[in-house]
Amino acid sequence: MSVSRPASAHELGAEIQALRTSAGLTLRALGDQVRMSNAKISLWENGHRLPSLDDLTKVLDALNVAGDQRERVLAMRREAEGPGMLVAGTTTIGAQLSKLIEWEQGARRITDVSPLLVPGLLQTADYARAILGDLPDAETRIALRMGRGEVLRRSRAPVEFHALIDDEVLVRGFASPEVMADQLRHLLRMAELPNVTIQLVPSTNGGYTPMLAGPFILLDFDTAPSIVHLEHHRASVSLWEEADIAGFRDAVEQITDAAISPDDSIDFIRELVDGMEQK
């Protein structure tokens, strides 16, 4: 598994592609103008390589990019100079979370594999508080998490969301029974949205699935390359090398095959809620 370049390498590539497309040029036509191979420019656009500042300047000249737009693109190139996007420290607030929020806002589809907790975009405030409540800035973090969930409910182009959740998550008792029951009812409400699919993976399944390797989020976009986001207690990493994305996409397929259907998943959650309410 490779560690990706910073997020701006991905964004810079998408920006170069958008500028080229807006100018009505093919990769080959742009390459001919700046005397570079179209394969080289393609690697930039896919975020796999960074152009030198000299090469980027030639491309911007060929595309007639000037003024503030030119400075913004050059600033993206300077930001992308850093090492891989492995970030240590708190993962709840910081540069990496800011990027994740941007990606969630722009994604067409998000697949969240969650073997340990309810996915963040589906959490209630009280459930999040049970996770974050001991931290000094917990309420700020909780409010931020609740705001992120709006990408699923927005009226214009809501994100297509597929949650693959280990069924043990639903009975993990770190929160009170009242909080857990409310969280399960929230899952039922969210599953009614046409863009949200929830599938449970039975913990009693025999054999291995990649879910046992830990949680991950796969983000797909309309035009930009896909991204995988991994997060641990005090570190996170984002990946978009083609081999990595293919591996995680294959993992999603394996986990989905091991999951029960969305309808059966909802029935299971509803039965859990009914059992909690009868106690």
Q: What is the 3-state secondary structure (H, E, C) of the chain?
A: CCCCCCHHHHHHHHHHHHHHHHCCCCHHHHHHHHCCCHHHHHHHHCCCCCCCHHHHHHHHHHCCCCHHHHHHHHHHHHHCCCCCCEEECCCCCCHHHHHHHHHHHHCCEEEEEECCCCCHHHCCHHHHHHHHCCCCCHHHHHHHHHHHHHHHCCCCCCCEEEEEEEHHHHHCCCCCHHHHHHHHHHHHHHHCCCCEEEEEECCCCCCCCHHHHCCEEEEECCCCCCEEEEECCCEEEEECCHHHHHHHHHHHHHHHHHCCCHHHHHHHHHHHHHHHHCC
More confident residue, 87 or 49: 49
195: its two tokens: 């863009």
- Looking at the chain, which residues constitute the CATH 3.30.870 domain(s)? 86-277
37-48 per-position pLDDT tens digit: 989 999 888 877
Return the pLDDT at 120. 95
Single-letter residue type at 50 = L
13-66 per-position pLDDT tens digit: 888 999 999 999 999 999 999 999 989 999 888 877 888 888 999 999 999 998
Single-letter residue type at 262 = P
Return the pLDDT at 222. 85
Model confidence at 94: pLDDT above 70: no
Could you tell me if 229 and 220 are in contact, meaning their C-beta atoms sit under 8 angstroms apart? no
Q: What percent of the chain has pLDDT over 70?
A: 90
CATH 3.30.870 fits 86-277, yes or no: yes
176-207 per-position pLDDT tens digit: 999 999 999 999 999 999 999 999 999 998 88
Question: Model confidence at 212, in pLDDT bands (50, 70, 90)?
Answer: very high
Residue with tokens 């599953």: 191
Among 4, 3, 15, smallest CA distance to 76 is for 15
CA distances for 163 relative to 4, 142, 158, 189, 197, angstroms: 24, 20, 15, 14, 6
Q: What percent of the chain has pLDDT over 90?
A: 57
103-116 per-position pLDDT tens digit: 898 899 999 999 99
Q: What is the mean pLDDT of residues 72-87?
A: 62
Q: Rounded mean pLDDT of the chain?
A: 87
Sheet containing strand 160-166, edge to edge, reads: 86-88, 235-239, 227-231, 216-220, 109-114, 160-166, 196-201
Extract long-range pairs of 155-160: CB within 8 Å, 24+ residues apart: 158/193, 158/195, 159/104, 159/107, 159/108, 159/109, 159/110, 159/195, 160/108, 160/109, 160/110, 160/195
The model's pTM: 0.72
Lowest mean pLDDT: which of 60-74, 78-92, 146-160?
78-92
Superfamily of structural domain 7-79:
lambda repressor-like DNA-binding domains (1.10.260.40)
Model confidence at 90: pLDDT above 50: no
Among 131, 111, 115, smallest CA distance to 123 is for 131
